[in-house]
Amino acid sequence: MADSSTQPTDESASSADHIEGEDTFDRLVDNEARVLVDFYADWCGPCQLMAPIVDELAAETEVPVAKVDVEELPQVAARYGVSSIPAFLVFEEGAVEEHLIGMQNKETLAQTI
């Protein structure tokens, strides 16, 4: 029973999508009406604190939520002027509509999408 209390839901189905390539990122942003992208790095403490919030939001919304590791895809981060992390960009029809820097609460992120 302890296992079920530590795992509230099937997180594999609810977590944000990790983007591993620039082409994948471009397809997602170009093909979806609206997308929330979390720019992060594994070494970033605030990013680690935001991860469960981002995953929770991904499970609660129909808007795609994606994560981009700035260490893996620095060219994508540079393209959008991401110099501080965590950073959250909301794309609408392929263009950046909102750019939030630093830790955010779930309600703020939800309002942007």
Catalytically annotated residues: 44, 47
Specify the amino acid at residue 60: E
Nearest to 94 by CA among 17, 31, 16: 31
